Chains A and B, each alone.
Chain A
């Protein structure tokens, strides 16, 4: 099931290897984005992995990657942000003054479930897919969405997955569970893109 698409994974910090492994297994070509020059290549979609958003955000700035990446996303490049990646995309962070890419019109709350003892695994309905396993690690959730943002999933009345045009964000980590459907949904967005 070789797909003729190329996915870039932001690889400055965090669980990028897991995302690359998953995307490759699903038949897409995969490249790592570690510095500005890597962004000059052509690719059909980008994944922002889990990790620490403060670290990833800061490295994006220092390595001169923030602006070019924001530019690509604003121009329609499909993007999937998981956990820290969702925070990087958010237009506003409720409990933090930083805004990183700020392309997704939602307000998120960092560490919304508390410290590591608050991390949990569950299952939840994702719109258009069905029930999927969901792993939350010191996870955020979405507090508020602007008009036009589709709410794809909620867990205990908290929004945990959204889509807005070319952007998709999950508070949980689809790359940590065996289910491929979230990634397949994203790859389908990239194929159309």
Chain B
């Protein structure tokens, strides 16, 4: 990937900021998401909560299903491939997907190597639960980062933990002496140059969204308050009682995340939220995939 292309891919993520990216499994859901104000949709066969319930190996979605969603909406369409599965990624690139999520939600195809994302023209977003993971993914060519959270649980605790951890690690690097950054790069197992970038800019070199367990407007606003630049909502919308209303409320909550009075209005009468699973009850921690 040329430097120009990488820049353009990072810039697309900049355009998504302040927005909500929603998981959808059908063209109909994609239209509902777009109508509700999604800034992009993630096309996948099963939402994380169902992947979790079904068990077994979870793979890239059928390209035909993704194409159906691309035809249904005018906003960017993302899709997931398995960690390390560069052939699935090539297939997604061939159908001109707008963003590939190399995602721990699917079963990893490689338990050592991530995809060398610099070899692709299309952009990649990757999950991270700390700064080291985020910078390693960026070094591999990711042009957007999201917290891993714990997908399909409706429990925001892990997303909060990952965002706070990343922020405090960034703050620590920002206040370091110049000569301490070599050791920090070694500890994080990331290139020195990326540590220098964080030291100078006080942020990741790419856009950083929250993901994994966001289920309510309040959850979304909480993640924005913690420094997320936008929010992915997966199972939280189409596993709830009134998806269209909940989706629209989450979109508004992300825009006006500091206005508690508006958040109170937005939180009214949303119907049933998705049934959550607490982290102690989960057998499979997806966030432990791909470090």
Name the residue on B nearest A121 (C-beta): B4
The count of chain A contact residues (Cβ–Cβ below 8 Å) is 37
Residue B9 lies at the interface, judged by CB distance under 8 Å to chain A: yes
- A119 touching B251 by the CB < 8 A rule? no
Q: Kindly identify which residue among B19, B99, B254 contacts A52, using a CB–CB cutoff of 8 Å.
A: B19
Q: Kindly identify which residue among B19, B259, B262 contacts A51, using a CB–CB cutoff of 8 Å.
A: B19
- B252 touching A62 by the CB < 8 A rule? yes
Rounded to whole angstroms, the CA-CA distance of A12 and B252 in the bound complex is: 8
CB distance from A111 to the nearest CB of B (A): 6
Contact with A along B181-193 (1 / 0, CB 8 A): 0000000000000
- B15 touching A12 by the CB < 8 A rule? no
| A12 surroundings in chain B (CB, below 8 A) | 18, 255
- A137 touching B12 by the CB < 8 A rule? yes
Name the residue on B nearest A51 (C-beta): B15
Of B9, B11, B122, chain A has the most CB atoms within 10 Å of the CB of B11
Given contacts A14-B19, A16-B18, A63-B252, contact A52 B39 (CB under 8 A): yes
Q: Kindly identify which residue among A18, A83, A121 contacts B7, using a CB–CB cutoff of 8 Å.
A: A121
Q: Which of A50-67 contact B (CB under 8 A)?
A: 50-52, 54-55, 58-59, 62-63
- A111 touching B121 by the CB < 8 A rule? no
Rounded to whole angstroms, the CA-CA distance of A49 and B35 in the bound complex is: 20
| A34 surroundings in chain B (CB, below 8 A) | 255-256, 259
Residue B17 lies at the interface, judged by CB distance under 8 Å to chain A: yes
- A52 touching B16 by the CB < 8 A rule? yes
Name the residue on A nearest B70 (C-beta): A115
Majority SS at the chain A contact face:
loop
Residue B76 lies at the interface, judged by CB distance under 8 Å to chain A: yes
Residue B34 lies at the interface, judged by CB distance under 8 Å to chain A: yes
Name the residue on B nearest A136 (C-beta): B8
Given contacts A13-B17, A115-B98, A137-B8, contact A55 B256 (CB under 8 A): no
Name the residue on A nearest B229 (C-beta): A17
- A52 touching B12 by the CB < 8 A rule? no
The count of chain B contact residues (Cβ–Cβ below 8 Å) is 37
Rounded to whole angstroms, the CA-CA distance of A50 and B4 in the bound complex is: 19
Rounded to whole angstroms, the CA-CA distance of A172 and B58 in the bound complex is: 39
| B121 surroundings in chain A (CB, below 8 A) | 117
Given contacts A14-B19, A55-B37, A58-B37, contact A114 B96 (CB under 8 A): yes
Contact with B along A68-98 (1 / 0, CB 8 A): 0000000000000001100000000001100
Residue A15 lies at the interface, judged by CB distance under 8 Å to chain B: yes
Q: Kindly identify which residue among B18, B76, B248, B262 contacts A13, using a CB–CB cutoff of 8 Å.
A: B18
Residue A145 lies at the interface, judged by CB distance under 8 Å to chain B: no
Q: Kindly identify which residue among A35, A111, A135 contacts B256, using a CB–CB cutoff of 8 Å.
A: A35
Residue A151 lies at the interface, judged by CB distance under 8 Å to chain B: no
| A17 surroundings in chain B (CB, below 8 A) | 17
Name the residue on A nearest B99 (C-beta): A116
- B37 touching A54 by the CB < 8 A rule? yes
| B152 surroundings in chain A (CB, below 8 A) | none
Name the residue on B nearest A37 (C-beta): B259
| B4 surroundings in chain A (CB, below 8 A) | 121
Rounded to whole angstroms, the CA-CA distance of A111 and B102 in the bound complex is: 25
Q: Kindly identify which residue among B7, B122, B248 contacts A116, using a CB–CB cutoff of 8 Å.
A: B122
CB distance from B20 to the nearest CB of A (A): 8
| A63 surroundings in chain B (CB, below 8 A) | 252, 255-256
Of A34, A116, A120, A137, chain B has the most CB atoms within 10 Å of the CB of A116
Residue A107 lies at the interface, judged by CB distance under 8 Å to chain B: no
Rounded to whole angstroms, the CA-CA distance of A117 and B121 in the bound complex is: 7
Q: List 11 A-B contacts (CB under 8 A).
A: A13-B17, A34-B255, A55-B19, A55-B39, A55-B251, A62-B248, A111-B74, A116-B122, A119-B8, A135-B11, A137-B8
* Given A54-B74, A63-B256: 15 more A-B contacts, CB < 8 Å: A11-B18, A13-B18, A13-B39, A14-B15, A15-B15, A16-B17, A51-B15, A58-B251, A96-B74, A111-B74, A117-B96, A117-B121, A121-B4, A121-B7, A137-B11
The 3 tightest CB contacts between A and B, nearest first, are A13-B18, A116-B98, A52-B39
